[in-house]
Structure 1
């Protein structure tokens, strides 16, 4: 079956696309769809074809809509055939393999069909009034409200087998995922949820939010990125570094340090495997790992990874490499390659000065994007929620901040989208090795509103030996500290290696206990 999430024309084409590609959407809306509720003759004909197919097969036509068109093409004139052909080609070529956001479109579709249903009834009334047929006028008038209610009502009965059929058998897969063991560690990321990265100032929250945007787009989602701190050119610069893995700003010696996965047995010279890359070398002094500068001879080894979990004990090491700065040509080429994979214009950005945008401003921007470009986001990234403008009428700051987070949760549910943002940790969080929910700043009600909170930890910040500090090894430890849906294990973390000089927040990762 074809799956669609983006339409470039009217609400009618959005509805028709949904009933072509999404059986669940068609099952839910079939009772409300009548060909006469659509404006154009072409749309009325398409709806009648699809309803007839659904009546016989109990599924949406999907790719078979092309065969239906060929069989019934004689009902259309030349211009109508051309219009239908262009529309169907758009679906099959541009949107194949992408999910249709039925939960968001459904209420819009019902509202549109309800208005058109009343408009149609009014036309029937006027016709019979002109004819002077009082009995038919009464019949239409008295039955109109009940008929339309039955067609468009949101009420459902648990005895209705069609409700069961509309969701049974759906694949319970995450809407997006992350690479490496981070993807294994993270819970299922689902539509209609509000997620947040938690960290003290300068911990890389904006880099993490861009990583969400990157992986969401890579998985085929429509993404919007609201920046409440950076200008559009700053967002674009960081984005180009992320997708190219090259820095825009030049370095004097062009040298970069890149953390890599290694094995503890390799570093302690306790490995007995002949394929070990650094036999005879030990990078530990007593129980402390020494600097990579002191051991240029050491070579990281992951030979046993995935072969023998008892032999492979993951840790990290550092390698040095020389990279030229990102050129304009490379930036353009990399963007084109990314677009070839995910589709052009998959990510949209908009920026606001700090504390100038309200949640309603964000909603208005999303509505404009949908109205003018029919772009419906699946992933909404906000960098970041704590600096949204607050409603001063709500009293103290805690309540104002909490109100913004509640509105973001509503945004996720109404739009059936993933909403992800960041929360600033409180003052004491900057001096902690592990963050928890008590480190969420301002209103604690945020914890009860957010569906998943992921702490960005960096341990041993206060060690006199800088080589015992995560930051100097370009290491962060992601830990789930709150999750509304699903289970998580306190203390289980994902160690993530990064190089922020090139906007690479995730180079590699492994799961570890702390």
Structure 2
């Protein structure tokens, strides 16, 4: 590759990360143009250890220097073909680039790409700052103190997002481009429909189910976890009250439709069921109540990613009994911080996060549990993207039904209430049809009782 050597040589700083990580760095450059512009300020092509990535990165950045925009992947391929397609060019390099592009196309949206981007940008910014410090020492020795101030100010600012924001009139076209929102369904069609969740809870979003104690919050979290498993997704379920085995049994009951109390004597049926069906992956992790903070969850997720378990959805049962990373005199401030950190974690790991919240006393007897019923800290609702109220009165528990109320929704409509059947033996929620809803209507029940009294009276009168 002597005739195609990169213009600026230097140490391959990315060598410590390995081939797969380095390839994802370049894939991030190709996919995210804004991030590529940040990296352009702090990264050099020679940071890559792999020669074909050095070559592609130099072509990519060189195009930006000339035209102030990055080339599309198709244009970059044409540029490479023009350089390496002639006789006498580096055939090995050309084949390596072709194979790399095939790998990129085979996995166009790696789930761990946000992590790779954050790690790479942070490393490059640190490296740029180290180089600036070295230069600053030389300037101080030469008594060029004003230059030191300018140099350090520049070192701090490099790698920061360069956009000024959305120019309303100049960027009009951007508002009419469809935004791809990758979702995880709840398993209930009326919630996942386009006008409400439009497919389910999206990556980077925080969903909260609010209900009184014993109403079915944990069962709801199993419902959404099982729905994701059926889609082939990787689910990480954290429990702070129920054991890992008990949570696992609830998933067994939901997926196999066998009552949780009958699982032991139906072990063979359960085993055969999983052999005949394909699901995603489920990791269940238990922490004692008020011992795990959001940082604990972050560290565990990092360990899972290191072992190849990339989460598609994270379920936390439940946020109100987590430990705050900062102590406050008032509990509501700690709860507010927990929810803010969960929302930040959802964005950092690019996954939907579902959790639950205990309602206040008023919610126990309410026909409809809303935002005003979120216990201790109303501010929990402010950072949540989707809030679902779950209500079940004692007589409704006995008959196996309840109500879901869409209290808040950043993705679509809210304010709707839905009647649902709740099978706690199988942790399943199902839609009720119109006849079933009519059968439980208090007015219809009273009318039917009145008709029974009238019929009885007639029978006695004519008896």
Q: 1:9 to 1:326 in 2, by over 3 A?
A: farther
Q: 2:45 aligns with which of 35, 41, 59?
A: 35
Query: SS of 1:386's equivalent?
Result: helix
What is the distance in 2 between the residues matched to 1:326 and 1:433? 42
* 1:122 Cα offset (Å): 9.0
Do structure 1's residue 453 and structure 2's residue 387 form an aligned pair? Answer: yes
Query: SS of 1:502's equivalent?
Result: coil
Do structure 1's residue 356 and structure 2's residue 291 form an aligned pair? Answer: yes
Q: 1:251 to 1:498 in 2, by over 3 A?
A: same
Q: 1:501 aligns with which of 414, 419, 425?
A: 425
Alignment-derived partner of residue 321 in structure 2: 387
Query: SS of 2:202's equivalent?
Result: coil
Aligned length: 407
Alignment-derived partner of residue 113 in structure 1: 124
Alignment-derived partner of residue 406 in structure 2: 480
What CA deviation, in whole Å up to 9, does each residue of 1:113-147 have, x standing for no partner? 32344567899x8xxx9xxxxx9xxxx99997687
What is the distance in 1 between the residues matched to 2:41 and 2:272? 53
Contact (CA 8 Å) 1:28, 1:166: kept in 2 or not? no
Contact (CA 8 Å) 1:38, 1:116: kept in 2 or not? no
Q: 1:392 to 1:49 in 2, by over 3 A?
A: closer
Alignment-derived partner of residue 399 in structure 1: 333
* 1:356 Cα offset (Å): 1.9
Q: Pick which of 22-31 and 193-202 moved more.
A: 22-31
* 1:361 Cα offset (Å): 1.2
Alignment-derived partner of residue 3 in structure 1: none
* 1:190 Cα offset (Å): 3.4
What CA deviation, in whole Å up to 9, does each residue of 1:5-43 have, x standing for no partner? xx9966433322323455665566556553123244343
Query: SS of 2:284's equivalent?
Result: strand
* 1:238 Cα offset (Å): 2.3
Alignment-derived partner of residue 452 in structure 2: none
* 1:198 Cα offset (Å): 0.8
Query: SS of 1:422's equivalent?
Result: strand
Q: 1:333 aligns with which of 263, 266, 275?
A: 275
What is the distance in 2 between the residues matched to 1:455 and 1:478? 6
What is the distance in 2 between the residues matched to 1:15 and 1:382? 30
Q: 1:435 to 1:507 in 2, by over 3 A?
A: closer
Do structure 1's residue 210 and structure 2's residue 222 form an aligned pair? Answer: yes
What is the distance in 2 between the residues matched to 1:213 and 1:69? 46
Q: 1:481 to 1:152 in 2, by over 3 A?
A: same
Contact (CA 8 Å) 1:24, 1:166: kept in 2 or not? no
Q: 1:356 to 1:251 in 2, by over 3 A?
A: closer
Kindly indicate which of the two structures has a greater share of residues assigned to helix: 2
Contact (CA 8 Å) 1:225, 1:380: kept in 2 or not? yes
* 1:83 Cα offset (Å): 9.8
Alignment-derived partner of residue 179 in structure 2: 171
Contact (CA 8 Å) 1:477, 1:494: kept in 2 or not? yes
What CA deviation, in whole Å up to 9, does each residue of 1:51-101 have, x standing for no partner? 5788899564289969969995964749x967984x6565444x35x5757
* 1:456 Cα offset (Å): 1.0
Per the normalisation by structure 1, the TM-score is 0.62
What is the distance in 2 between the residues matched to 1:333 and 1:71? 52
Q: 2:191 aligns with which of 177, 182, 186?
A: 182
* 1:111 Cα offset (Å): 1.8
The equivalences for 1:253-264 within 5 A come to: none
Alignment-derived partner of residue 55 in structure 2: 45
Query: SS of 1:327's equivalent?
Result: helix
Q: 1:405 to 1:121 in 2, by over 3 A?
A: closer
Do structure 1's residue 153 and structure 2's residue 160 form an aligned pair? Answer: yes
Contact (CA 8 Å) 2:389, 2:407: kept in 1 or not? yes
Q: 1:399 to 1:58 in 2, by over 3 A?
A: closer
The alignment yields a C-alpha RMSD, in angstroms, of 4.8
Flag structure 1 segments of 5+ consecutive residues without an equivalent. 1-6, 130-134, 255-323, 340-344, 462-468
Q: 2:366 aligns with which of 432, 441, 454?
A: 432
